[in-house]
Every structure is written in structure tokens, then in C-alpha cells.
Amino acid sequence: MARGAVAAMAMSGMRQFAVGVGAIERTPPEAMLREGVPAVLAAVPEHRRTAFIELAHWCYGAAAGAAFGLVPRRIRHSRAAGPIYGVLSWGLFEVALAPALGLEHARRARPRERLALLIDHVFFGVVIGRTPEADISDPSAEDGGTGGGTRPHRNDR
């Protein structure tokens, strides 16, 4: 869950850059709240909406990170599992959620935006996925890093 929140926070920075260079017109969390469920956003004072949109994205990222923990261990421990999971989560938004909410961007071609969001979600998956250090760290790496082992990394000896 924490990795998901951290990944979503890092994605926020990447998205602000993408908006600044014109690759993305409106971030998916903003589009979802402004177009898909505007009543939710209307309940938030206008001067707090940007912060609310970011917090909503971080919570969604934390939930997606926690859901990654439900992926079977043998699959989750592949280095490709995290990035694939990130791409699949983005695909689910693009194919199902955005059209269901009637988001404007779901009705038009936007190759630069899709490429930026694809990269964004691969990054998300890298952050939530198995780290290279897990191969040389303590026994808790076998259960996704949630165990109680304290053996130092090889480089720390």
C-alpha cells in the first residue's frame, strides 16, 4: 500500500511535467473528478480542489498498490509483474472507466497523451513491483517485504 501511494505521488510530478510540456491536457484524476463525478468535486471548496484531486490520486494509487499484493506471489515476484500491472491498471481506466464516466478524452485520439500515461504507469509498476534488492535482502523479500527479517544487504556487511 505504501509503495502504491509513493508511486502515485511520483506520478503526480511526472504528470505535472507532461501537462507543462503539452503532452497531457488534463490528468486522468482531474478529468475523472471534474467530468465523471463533478458532484464530488463540487463539495470541495474551490481553493482546495487541486489538493483534493492529488489526494484522491494518491489514495487510488495506495489502493492499487495494496491490490498488487493480492497477485499470486509466484507472479508478483517477477520483475516484469509490477510494470505489467501498472499498464493493465491504466488500460482498465482507458477501456472501461473513462468511457463509463463519459470522459471527453475517451472520445478522441490522443497518442502523445497515451504515450505519456503509458510511461507514467510503467513507472508506477516499477515502484510497486519487486525490487532488485529483494534478491539479496532478508527472508522477508519472499513474502513481498512484509516479514520481520533483519538480515543486512550484502553490500552492508
Q: Cα 99 from chain centroid? A: 19
Q: Are 1 and 58 in contact (CB under 8 A)?
A: no
Residue 82 lies in a domain: yes
Range of the domain at 87: 2-130
Residue 146 within any structural domain of the chain: no
* Cα distance between residue 151 and residue 157, in whole Å: 10
Number of domains composing the chain: 1
Separation CA 154–CA 64 (nearest Å): 31
Domain assignment of residue 30, yes or no: yes
- Residue at 153 is within a domain: no
Query: For the whole model, what pTM was predicted?
Result: 0.75
- Report yes or no on 150 lying in a domain: no
pLDDT tens for 64-104 read: 999 999 999 889 889 899 999 999 999 998 889 888 888 88
